[in-house]
């Protein structure tokens, strides 16, 4: 167990932000994170901004620090928001603990193919189902068991409808065909990680079932192209209400995707009467996830 003091970092907010589906806020206050074949638990420490992580220093610095994007100064981006934009200022203040995770590309391709016309809670269950059915069993030294994310090679051998048994419905064929595209070298995930935003987006759009919205989600939440600005139902509503002439991309060039996350989170949780308290992980938050269709999709 190690301690870190981190500004603008709140795993409870990140967990509910719609960018990751293998991060779970437990009832006892811990947050459980699965990434590929890695496992981590975290909880708040006793001081402001302090977090406890269930790993050693070397693993944290070699993997998790990058995964959580801890080298970036998110406070600088929040401070750059136009003070006259009361809506965006409120959204950023409410979701100030959100960071854009650096997640595995294949995992994000599958996750956001599943996300279409779905809600956050159901996406999580679908991914848990396919990991249990087709992922490699894993265990840590303390005896905690979990499943790694299934590889493209494993899923590529399935019948196109096989993942309906994991509650994917019509999305089953999207995932299986994507796996075959990787296996058959029609797309190269490693090469995509080296491309710029425009190039990687074009490559992702070649996948069956991937449209512009899903491609932008993958670009933002895996490839860390922070200029990507996925537009789902919640974002569209916010744009219509607050940015009738369009979002001020020029002012926020290069980190629009960070602001998109603040807006999404605020639309989902912050505008309720009295507003959700930061870090809330109770029944109200779970119900909101359940009825939030077109989550980050």
**Which positions are catalytic?**
213
pLDDT of the residue at 286: 43
Residue 2: is it exposed, middle or buried by C-beta count within 10 angstroms (0-12/13-18/19+)? middle
Those residues whose C-beta lies under 8 Å from the C-beta of residue 30, and which sit 6 or more positions away, are 41, 42, 43
pLDDT at position 272: 62
pLDDT at 280: 40
pTM, whole model, 2 decimals?
0.89
HEC string for 278-291? CCCCCHHHHHHHHH
Q: What is the pLDDT of residue 279?
A: 39
R_g (Cα) of the chain, nearest Å = 19
For residues 24 and 61, give the distance between their C-alpha atoms in angstroms, rounded to a whole number.
22
Structural tokens at position 107: 């995992």
DSSP string, 147-163: EPPPPHHHHHTS-TTGG
User: What pLDDT does 106 receive?
Assistant: 97
280 vs 282: CA distance, rounded Å: 6
- Whether 218 and 112 have beta carbons less than 8 Å apart is answered as yes
Give the count of alpha carbons within 13 A of 16, CB side only: 32
- Residue pair 36/47 in contact by the 8 Å Cβ criterion: no
Q: What is the pLDDT of residue 140?
A: 79
Query: What pLDDT is stored for residue 23 in this prediction?
Result: 94
Residue 196 sits at φ, ψ, to 5 deg, of -80, 180
Burial 109-124 (b: 16+ CB within 10 A, else e): bbbbbbbbebbbbbbb
CA–CA separation, 278 and 256 (whole Å):
22
Q: Which is nearest to 37 in space by CA: 176, 153, 109, 131?
A: 131
Instruction: Kindly list the distances between the CA atom of residue 254 and the CA atoms of 6, 216, 221, 249, in Å, as whole numbers in the listed order.
Output: 23, 14, 14, 9
pLDDT score, position 120 = 86
> Chain centroid to CA 130: how far?
18
Give pLDDT tens digits along the chain (297 positions).
899 999 999 999 999 999 999 999 998 889 999 998 899 999 999 889 999 999 999 999 999 999 999 999 999 999 999 999 999 999 999 999 999 999 999 999 999 999 988 888 899 999 999 999 999 998 877 778 899 999 999 999 999 999 999 999 999 999 999 999 999 999 999 999 999 999 999 999 999 999 999 999 999 999 999 999 999 989 999 999 999 999 999 999 999 999 999 999 999 998 663 444 433 433 344 444 444 445 444
């Amino acid at each position: 167990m190690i301690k870190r003091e981190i500004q603008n970092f709140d795993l409870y907010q990140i967990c509910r932000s719609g960018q990751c589906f293998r991060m779970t806020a437990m009832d006892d206050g811990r947050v459980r994170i699965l990434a590929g074949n890695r496992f981590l638990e975290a909880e708040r420490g006793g001081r402001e901004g302090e977090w406890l992580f269930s790993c050693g220093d070397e693993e944290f610095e070699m993997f998790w620090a990058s995964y959580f994007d801890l080298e970036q100064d998110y406070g600088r981006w929040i401070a750059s928001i136009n003070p006259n934009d009361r809506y965006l200022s409120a959204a950023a203040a409410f979701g100030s603990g959100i960071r854009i995770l650096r997640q595995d590309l294949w995992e994000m391709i599958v996750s956001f193919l599943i996300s279409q016309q779905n809600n956050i809670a159901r996406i999580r269950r679908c991914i848990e189902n396919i990991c249990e059915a087709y992922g490699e069993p894993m265990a840590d030294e303390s005896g905690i068991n979990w499943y790694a994310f299934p590889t493209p090679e494993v899923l590529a051998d399935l019948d196109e409808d096989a993942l309906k048994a994991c509650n994917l419905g019509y999305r089953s064929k999207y995932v299986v065909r994507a796996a075959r595209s990787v296996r058959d070298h029609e797309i190269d995930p490693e090469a995509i990680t080296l491309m710029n935003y425009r190039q990687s987006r074009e490559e992702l759009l070649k996948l069956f079932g991937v449209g512009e919205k899903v491609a932008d989600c993958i670009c933002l939440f895996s490839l860390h192209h922070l200029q990507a600005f996925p537009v789902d139902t919640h974002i569209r509503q916010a744009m219509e209400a607050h940015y009738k002439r369009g979002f001020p991309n020029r002012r926020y060039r290069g980190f629009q995707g960070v602001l998109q996350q603040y807006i999404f989170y605020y639309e989902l949780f912050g505008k309720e009467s009295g507003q959700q308290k930061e870090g809330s992980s109770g029944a109200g938050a779970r119900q909101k996830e359940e009825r939030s269709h077109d989550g980050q999709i």
